[in-house]
Amino acid sequence: MIGEVVGVMKLPSWSKEVIASYESGTAGCFVLHGNVHDSVMLGHGGRKRQLGNLGDFIQESLLPKFDVVLSYDLGFGMRVERGGDIFRKWPSLDETPDIPHHPLPAIRLMTHYMQYCRNLKIMGREAPRVAVVVKQAHLVCPALPNLLNYDLSSMASLLRGWAAEAKLPDFGQAAFLVSENLNGLHPLVSESSRVCALDVPLPDQEAIHAALEYLKADCGSALTNYDGKLEQVAERLVGATLMSVEQLLRRSSHDGRALDDKSLAKLKKQLVERDCKGLIDFVEPDRSLEDIVGLDGVKKWLRQDISLWNQGELEAMPMGYLVCGPVGTGKTYLAECLAGEAGVPVVTMRNFRDKWVGSTEANLEKIFTLLHALGRCIVFVDEADQALGKRDSGSGDSGVSSRVYSMMAKEMSNTRNRGKIMWVLASSRPDLIEVDLKRPGRIDVKIPLFPSLNSQEGFSLIRALCKRKGVVVNEEDFSEFEGVIPPLLTAGAAETLAVKAYRVKMTESLTDKEALMACLREYRPPVSLETLRFQMRIAADEATDASLIPAEVQEMLK
């Protein structure tokens, strides 16, 4: 039986699902996808603890009682991992002197051997328990549905046959297909109802802590500052792979560098972004809602939600926010300040689209795996009207956009993420986002952001941003500036003015007031007022609550 050896070290949740599915007879063929190339803690069942790979874990912890274990990958071909003496007794091997290297003959041979062992048992004879493992299955049987390749179709048919053989557990047989992602597998396999597909997640805090305990014998100098406090290190490194954690400790120990809180934060960012292959930007914000100028109503609303989040009142928490408004109104900055106020990291999705078949969907799978591992975090999607895809994308992109839409919609509405993953979408054209993605249950709160609505607001915004750049203008000077404050000034435009004012001050030897006045007199708006008003109207129409729309905006847009 699968998983008969269980020791004091806790088995990963996905492996428990394998055991339960197999022992109940509901599945005998498993597709393991996700974080399959990472290191795994071995040592279940009282064996020596060490770091190994997923293949080692499958053999040691899931298949300890199987007599014959066969594996295949493109590099090494077919291999007999266990039970070579038993396998060589198979009469058909006399007709196959060399174990095949190419995929189709190898998969056929493994299939025939499994059938031979089943026949032995049917005839009442002693039959070995057999397990087969196909590594890098996405390369062996890739998702190329438009390619007319009979060998590929034959391979997909054989692998699907393993899954369709519902009585594999009754015959003491099991099959494992290990793939980087589910979408990379041929649809005949990945979409089979008989396949039990299980996501191998990134290591949780407990797994990282176990790895740190193992590694401290060799890398103790890197952990000098955390003697007896490895739980803190494990908590800080959640989201990284065990392989990256091991590399980090060994390199730090070699360099004689002891980790501290500051270096851990920096290294975690590097590890997470590298492990996710540059698909995301990972930021632990150092600012809060106090850093936002104005927006008192919005800040009050967000602080109430954060308070509920901290109190564990998850049922009152929104699944996500849509921040909309004209370009330059500080939508990205608001997301970072919100995360800083809540004390959680921000994950920004970069360009995950790829030209290769299945690669875009595979990239999304990697991002989702990371999000689930991080625990509480905010996911920021800028230009959401472009990034989230369309329900019906036509034939221009071979359906990639519609598949992205489907995957995002499913993930955003997953109620298990409530209180863990907070989605923040930003767009200056929220009307172009699919209606289903904006519905309650995915996006519960829509926050409009507007430019300054009068000269006093514009002056206060410019003063605050100029002060951060070292250009100080007194509040009492408002009367002198009132006539040159641009209408509908955005935070982005005010930031540009502040930078220019500092530059003028330093290069032309002007006073702070003179430098700012010179910049305001020469200012030309980067976006036309007509465009700003158009985007303001769209944002106001999207607002969840009328209290989020200032009275001046309501009057202006009548």
pLDDT band of 145, cuts 50, 70, 90: low
Which DSSP state fits 58? I
Q: What are phi and psi of 416, to 5 degrees?
A: -65, -20
pLDDT band of 56, cuts 50, 70, 90: very high
**Does residue 539 have a pLDDT over 60?**
yes
Least confident window among 16-20, 95-99, 284-288, 443-447: 95-99
Q: What are phi and psi of 89, to 5 degrees?
A: -80, -5
Report the pLDDT value the prediction gives residue 451, as an integer from 0 to 100.
Answer: 93
More confident residue, 129 or 276: 129
Report the pLDDT value the prediction gives residue 166, as an integer from 0 to 100.
Answer: 61
**Does residue 32 have a pLDDT over 90?**
yes
Which tokens belong to 164? Answer: 């369709």
**Does residue 357 have a pLDDT over 80?**
no
Report the pLDDT value the prediction gives residue 5, as an integer from 0 to 100.
Answer: 43
289-448 fold? Rossmann fold (3.40.50)
Give the start-to-end residue ranges of the domains of the chain.
13-200, 205-275, 289-448, 455-521
Average pLDDT over residues 218-239: 86
Q: What are phi and psi of 527, to 5 degrees?
A: -130, 135
pLDDT in tens, 406-429: 888 888 998 888 888 899 999 999
SS3 per residue for 396-425: CCCCHHHHHHHHHHHHHCCHHHCCCEEEEE
Report the pLDDT value the prediction gives residue 96, as an integer from 0 to 100.
Answer: 65
pLDDT in tens, 368-377: 888 888 878 8
Q: Give the span between the Cα atoms of 340 and 292, in whole angstroms.
A: 12
**Does residue 211 have a pLDDT over 60?**
yes
Report the pLDDT value the prediction gives residue 393, as an integer from 0 to 100.
Answer: 57
Average pLDDT over residues 292-321: 88
More confident residue, 386 or 97: 386
**Angle at which helices 205-219 and 242-254 pack, to 10 degrees?**
30
**Does residue 7 have a pLDDT over 50?**
no
Is 414 exposed, middle or buried, given 0-12, 13-18 or 19+ CB atoms closer than 10 A? middle
Least confident window among 161-165, 284-288, 359-363, 396-400: 396-400
Tell me how crowded residue 421 is: count the other CB atoms within 10 A of its CB.
23
Closest to 58 in 3D by CA, of 27, 82, 88, 86: 82
Report the pLDDT value the prediction gives residue 289, as an integer from 0 to 100.
Answer: 92
**Does residue 164 have a pLDDT over 50?**
yes
pLDDT band of 6, cuts 50, 70, 90: very low
Backbone dihedral region for residue 325 (phi beyond 0: left; psi -120 to 50: alpha; all else: beta): left
Average pLDDT over residues 153-180: 89
Average pLDDT over residues 225-237: 86
More confident residue, 158 or 283: 158
CATH architecture of 13-200: 3-Layer(aba) Sandwich (3.40)
Average pLDDT over residues 328-334: 90
Report the pLDDT value the prediction gives residue 397, as an integer from 0 to 100.
Answer: 59
Average pLDDT over residues 48-73: 91
List residues bridging with 557 in a β-sheet: none
556: number of CA atoms within 13 Å, CB side?
21
pLDDT in tens, 467-488: 999 999 999 999 999 999 999 9
Q: Percentage of residues in the chain with pLDDT exceeding 90?
A: 44
Report the pLDDT value the prediction gives residue 321, as an integer from 0 to 100.
Answer: 94
Least confident window among 66-70, 322-326, 356-360, 454-458: 356-360
pLDDT in tens, 94-112: 766 678 889 999 999 999 9
Q: Give the span between the Cα atoms of 144 and 187, in whole angstroms.
A: 9
pLDDT in tens, 418-457: 888 899 999 999 999 988 888 888 999 999 999 999 999 9
Average pLDDT over residues 50-62: 91
Q: What is the mean pLDDT of the chain?
A: 87
Q: Do 46 and 237 contact (CB within 8 A), yes or no? A: no
